[in-house]
Amino acid sequence: MINLIGTYECKADAKGRVMVSSVFKKQLSSVLQDGFVMKRAVFQPCLELYPMQEWNLMMAKINKLNKFKKKNNDFIRRFTAGVKMVEFDATGRVLIPKDLLDFAGIQKQVVMSSSVNIIEIWDKDKYEKAIDDAALDFADLAEEVMGNTDVDELS
């Protein structure tokens, strides 16, 4: 499993290409040759960039769902909507497909932020708003999510 670290600002060019931070490229160096999957996020108006090995782990979990249950099929359809395979080019850029640019509302200023094993790709203004909105109740959220957990349970 990959554990990515960092939040970096960059710019999208007119074709939707974004230069990936050299820090992320270094962290991803062992999996660059395998390619990536880019998709719409489930909860936010941003994109998610999965290293192929992380995508395959996610698909293994999803593949265990009973496809004869409507809610499972609905989930799979929504989760995989707009999924694209992408690669970094020779200069370290990734091309964001037009439909995904539109979904995330990405204009020119972009934020790439680690989310454990994937990279979230945001329009900068939307990212700042999401961070500001989350700050209002983050203490309560942190207590709810992490406060009732023994340290031993996390390992």
- The residue with greater pLDDT, 149 or 59, is 59
pLDDT category of residue 134 using cuts at 50, 70 and 90: confident
pLDDT band with cut points at 50, 70 and 90 for residue 150? low
Per-residue confidence band for 151, with pLDDT thresholds at 50, 70 and 90: low
Please say if the pLDDT value at position 149 is more than 80: no
The answer to whether the predicted template modeling score (pTM) of the entire model surpasses 0.75 is yes
CA–CA separation, 93 vs 16, rounded Å? 10
Residue 63: strand pairing partners? none
Higher-confidence position of 1 and 116: 116
Name the H helices within 1-150.
Answer: 22-27, 52-62, 70-79, 98-104, 124-136, 138-146
Banded model confidence at residue 108, pLDDT cuts 50, 70, 90: very high
**pLDDT band at residue 143 under the 50/70/90 scheme:** confident
With CA atoms as reference, report the closest residue to 61 among 80, 46, 45, 40: 80
pLDDT tens for 41-90 read 999 999 999 999 999 999 999 999 999 999 999 999 999 999 999 999 99
Determine the distance from the C-alpha atom of residue 38 to the mean position of all C-alpha atoms in its chain, rounded to a whole number.
Answer: 7
Better-scored residue on pLDDT, 75 or 138? 75
Question: b/e string for 143-155 if b means 16 or more Cβ within 10 A?
Answer: eeeeeeeeeeeee
Domains of the chain: 7-125 (3.40.1550.20)
For residue 152, the model assigns a pLDDT of 57
**Three-state DSSP state, 45:** coil
